Amino acid sequence: MAVSDTTTAPMNHRRPSNARSILALTGPAYLWLVVTVLLPLAAMFYFSFLSDVPLAARDWHATLANYAAFFQQDFYRTLMWRSLRLGFEVALWCFVIGFPCAYVLAKTIKGRWREALFLMVIIPFWSNALIRVFSWTMVLRGNGILERFLDWLIPGFGSLDLMFTYAAVVIGLVHSYLPYMILTCYISLSTIDDDLIDAARSMGASRLTVLRRIILPLSMPGIVAGAVLIFVPVIGSFMEPRILGGREGTFLGTVIEDQFTAVFNWPLGAALSFILLACVMIIFAIFQPILRRAS
Amino acid sequence: MKGHDCIRFLTLAVSMASMTGLAHADTIRVLNWQGYGTDEDWSLEKFEAATGNTVEHEYFNSEQEMLTKLRTNPGTYDVVLINSAYTQQAAEEGLIQPLDLTDFPHSEGLQARLAHNPNLQYDGKLYGIAWLWGVTSFAINTGAFDEKPDSLMELWNPAHAGRLGWRDDAVESCQFAALATGQDINDPSDYDVIRERLHALKPQIRTFWNSENEWNQYMSSGEFDLATYWSGSAARSKQNFGLPIEFVVPREGAIAWLDGLSIPTDAPHPEAAKQFIDWMIDPEFYVQWDTEVGAPISANEKAVEQLPEGAFNKQLIAQLKEVKSLPFMGPMSDETREKMLEVWQETKTFYQE
Amino acid sequence: MKARPINVLARVYLGLVLAFLYVPILVMAAMSFNASQFYMLPIDWSFDWYVKLASNARLLEATRNSIVVALVTTAIASVLGTAASIAFFRYDFRFKKVLQAALFPPIAIPWLITGTAMLMFFFWSGIGRGLHAMILGHVALALPYVIIVVSARIKGFDPDLESAARSLGASPWQVVRHVTLPYLAPGFIAGALFAFAVSFDQFVISYFLSVPGVSTLPVEIYTAIKKGFTPEINAISTLVIAFSITLLVIVSRFYRFGGDR
């Protein structure tokens, strides 16, 4: 990025004046982030080592029991594993559905249509996630729209029983995050030069070879970025499983939410959150090089 | 920093605006289950006409959530509905204040064994006004049964695999299992048996329900053949919503409970709260509520006497005299509660596999 | 290079994806016009739920709160974010990379974690919960978006324009007023609209920071879904989603999603 010399201050005062300007311009924003993100996370870390919520009326002392609980109780690990699996599956489905879509948008449609269609795909992502998940209950419920439609299409189709299943949670989440994958893949794909593909084709490479040897490797940064950015929020999701999952809707996220809104075991909730956060960090660390290339 | 001042001013302005919104006098805030008597519009209109007080509601989906709402929102609620099994815990934590029956003129009609129930007392003082009692059991969709079952074991009957609605609640779940295995519901001795009973429900459960409204929606869209339920809610679903259901009192017994109304420690409008509680235990309110909407059994004898012959609750009282055991939900030790929570959490995880 | 059948297939596929994205929303919207409380089919068309909505004080109050929070968030986040973007553009300094990386956590950490952390910290430190706390949280989430969007615009700015204006005798204020601001305006507007959209649709943070009687629309909708809902919820949801989509179409006039094309 260009370093410009446009400050009106005289040369000899430039450095301190710059420092002051930088502080004045960035200070408020970062102070805000410190108060609303950094300090809360620090407080959460502190809470996770306490035996009870540190309020005047309560007895509390430092303990490792909250973390120990995670390792002693099998079901916490099962739930962690389930949450990770959910994140992985949702990211995978988003890729399977989203990548071809991004490809079509980037490579086969041109002009104003492309812009309009692209917008149509992206916009749901920014609209209200809660409402979109809720809207699936209208579609999936027993004897709902989907079953009626399938029954009309194939008479005697019977019942799908999709509502309140793991599959319903996956569908709702894929719907929520698919535009993300399309967006990141689209950005990567549009940087690939069409001539490169044409050249490979003219030299006799099959479509599949082109896809495997040129398109997929070159769009990898977008795919990975999309996958990571989907994976992370999904493993912390609680609202989607609560609305769509029914009996199969217990995940680490819902258990954490319970600790805060129902059970009032904030320390345990904090410890579980930190374990979840550790997973997020590990994922980011692993994919950091590719993510940096993608940005 | 100027920008920062500006932000402080803005947040201050907004928080002040929201506080003036809260400070309207004479609006009492009630914490209760949704659709559980206190929020009947026709009654609230009369209450407002009689006392000038308006009523707002907040709802909870479990006793745990209710307690946490009290803990994290001191000075917010004026009246809270507490199952008497939790009254002592709330009193011990300093969440609710002691009450004097003489402040409630209609309390003279309350059954003595309910009004002075030990579960409503803590440290020699009364913390809850007995309001309603009833039982937790299950209700059936009459379309799915030829004959009304009379055993709790119907919940485990493979004929209804995938057709059972179950409330996602640790204590209630464990108590059902305790009742089915003949244990003390407030202090079970054998959690392995309880766990085994709950695990056995895995093929049965269609989904969890969390609120009465959800229960009605699932039942009406035919998701359930049978579902755990509360007697008062069953009366409402049948009478008010016209659902084809029957409440079952199993021969093994049912889980009985007594609900009381309490006033939180820092209630902003304690006087209005007392008026409201007295309004709620008034037979006049109860009889109209039970006959037009549906309710559990009133703790007020005079109110129950005034019910018409053949009323749901009169029949229920007769049926309950026949059952083998009718244990009341009572206070539990922290260990018991935590153990139940753990067993249920573990069971729910088992359901996922 | 493109054979027609492939092209047709591509379009059909795109159509299916769009159907997947929009059909649930349309179904929900259709149900909001269904008189049956239990969503029975076929639809019995009526406006009842919208009429009921107009007298639902609770939802209207929540809507008002959502708008207030979103407006204040937008004002704060766009000012702070634009200031920071200008600093990133103008100056090179030692911690720039670190500061830019520090924008990532609010976006990257699951909201469940940031939300519960804010709940604990605000509750425990005496900041408290309520609308002011939601504003604190929403600004933190909106800031990164504003900085990204404004930076994208600012990148194309030619500093020579400013010096040229100055050499023609413009005062520093005139330079800012007539050169810098007009150039930045589209980025600033896009950033502000983004901030509004982020805040208006935010659920998780608001959920943990709401107090009885003070909540936003998404929180009320969620509470209603969990504790007993009526098709009024469909009605308000339909309005909210229509509003969001309109807002985003407007954003797209100012900011190209997905960079340059």
| Tokens of residue A106, six digits | 């980037």
Please report which confidence band the pLDDT of residue C256 belongs to, taking 50, 70 and 90 as the band edges.
low
Question: CB-CB: which of B10, B73, B77 is closest to C76?
Answer: B10
Tell me which of B212 and B4 has the higher pLDDT. Answer: B212
Question: CB-CB: which of C75, C123, C131 is closest to B72?
Answer: C123
Are B34 and B164 found together in one domain? no
* φ and ψ at residue C129, rounded to 5 degrees: -115, 175
Poorest-pLDDT segment among A198-207, B84-93, B255-264, B292-301: A198-207
Angle value at C-alpha A287, between A283 and A291, nearest 5 degrees: 125
Domain span holding position A89: 69-294
| C16 in any annotated domain | no
What is the overall mean pLDDT for chain C? 83
Q: What confidence score (pLDDT) does residue A295 get? A: 59
Number of domains, chain A: 1
Please report which confidence band the pLDDT of residue A2 belongs to, taking 50, 70 and 90 as the band edges.
very low
| C25 in any annotated domain | no
Poorest-pLDDT segment among A243-247, B248-252, B256-260: A243-247
Q: Does A264 touch chain C (CB under 8 A)?
A: no
Tell me which of A163 and A95 has the higher pLDDT. Answer: A95
Look at the block and give the residue holding tokens 């037979």. B283
Are B300 and B331 found together in one domain? no
Distance from CA of A280 to the nearest CA of B (A): 22
Q: What confidence score (pLDDT) does residue B5 get? A: 54
Closest CA to B300 of B133, B137, B148: B133
Please report which confidence band the pLDDT of residue C257 belongs to, taking 50, 70 and 90 as the band edges.
low
Yes or no: say if B297 and B134 are a contact pair by the CB < 8 Å rule. yes
Number of domains, chain C: 1
Q: What confidence score (pLDDT) does residue A8 get? A: 40
Are B162 and B61 found together in one domain? no
| A63 in any annotated domain | no
Q: What confidence score (pLDDT) does residue A203 get? A: 84
Angle value at C-alpha B60, between B189 and A247, nearest 5 degrees: 65
| C121 in any annotated domain | yes
Poorest-pLDDT segment among A162-166, A220-224, B273-277: A162-166
| Strands B205-209 and B79-83, bridge-based pairing | unpaired
Tell me which of B323 and B79 has the higher pLDDT. Answer: B79
Yes or no: say if A181 and A291 are a contact pair by the CB < 8 Å rule. no
pLDDT at A31 over 50: yes
Tell me which of B86 and C257 has the higher pLDDT. Answer: B86
pLDDT at A133 over 70: yes
Poorest-pLDDT segment among B88-97, C73-82, C169-178: C169-178
Distance from CA of C55 to the nearest CA of A (A): 21
Q: Does B64 touch chain A (CB under 8 A)?
A: yes
pLDDT 10s digits, A205-260: 888 888 888 888 888 888 988 898 889 889 999 999 988 887 788 899 999 998 88
Rounded mean pLDDT of B108-137?
93
Question: CB-CB: which of C76, C130, C213 is closest to B7?
Answer: C76
Q: H or E segment at B132?
A: strand B129-141
Number of domains, chain B: 2
pLDDT 10s digits, C78-107: 999 988 888 888 787 777 788 888 877 787
pLDDT at A55 over 60: yes
Yes or no: say if C119 and C137 are a contact pair by the CB < 8 Å rule. no
Helix axes A252-261 and A266-294, enclosed angle (nearest 10): 140
Tell me, letter by letter, the H, E, C secondary structure of B6-59.
HHHHHHHHHHHHHHHHHCCCCEEEEEECCCCCCCCHHHHHHHHHHHCCEEEEEE
Please report which confidence band the pLDDT of residue A49 belongs to, taking 50, 70 and 90 as the band edges.
very high
State whether A117 and C14 contact (CB < 8 Å). yes
| pLDDT more than 90, % of chain A | 26
Residue A205, domain CATH: 1.10.3720.10
pLDDT at C250 over 90: no
| B232 in any annotated domain | yes
Poorest-pLDDT segment among A4-13, B22-31, B147-156: A4-13
Q: Does C120 touch chain B (CB under 8 A)?
A: no
Q: H or E segment at B82?
A: strand B79-83
Which chain B residue is nearest to residue C134, measuring alpha carbons? B11
pLDDT at A16 over 70: no
Tell me which of B14 and C245 has the higher pLDDT. Answer: C245
Residue C71, domain CATH: 1.10.3720.10
Rounded mean pLDDT of B14-39?
69
| C208 in any annotated domain | yes
Tell me which of B237 and C258 has the higher pLDDT. Answer: B237
State whether B222 and A79 contact (CB < 8 Å). no
Distance from CA of B184 to the nearest CA of C (A): 31
Which chain A residues are within 8 Å of C87, Cβ to Cβ?
21-22, 25-26
Residue B117, domain CATH: 3.40.190.10
CB atoms near residue C59 (< 10 Å): 20
Please report which confidence band the pLDDT of residue B190 belongs to, taking 50, 70 and 90 as the band edges.
very high
pLDDT at C252 over 90: no
Distance from CA of B260 to the nearest CA of C (A): 21
Domain span holding position B155: 136-255+325-352
Q: What confidence score (pLDDT) does residue C41 get? A: 64
Q: How much is the ipTM here?
A: 0.84
Q: What confidence score (pLDDT) does residue C27 get? A: 84
Are B226 and B348 found together in one domain? yes
Tell me the C-alpha to C-alpha distance, in Å, between residue A272 and each of A65, B252, C117, C176.
12, 40, 12, 50
The highest-confidence range among A162-171, A211-220, C66-75, by mean pLDDT, is C66-75
Amino acid in position C180: T
What length does chain A have?
295
State whether A121 and C248 contact (CB < 8 Å). no
**What single-letter DSSP state applies at residue B329?**
P
Angle value at C-alpha B64, between B329 and B155, nearest 5 degrees: 55
Interface test with C, best of B5, B10, B78, B236 (most C CBs within 10 A): B10
Are B201 and B348 found together in one domain? yes
Are B34 and B117 found together in one domain? yes
Are B213 and B279 found together in one domain? no
pLDDT at C185 over 60: yes
Q: What confidence score (pLDDT) does residue B178 get? A: 94
Distance from CA of B25 to the nearest CA of A (A): 28
Please report which confidence band the pLDDT of residue B154 belongs to, taking 50, 70 and 90 as the band edges.
very high
Are B339 and B222 found together in one domain? yes
Domain span holding position C98: 58-254
CA atoms of C242 and C230, how far apart (whole Å): 19
Please report which confidence band the pLDDT of residue A24 belongs to, taking 50, 70 and 90 as the band edges.
confident
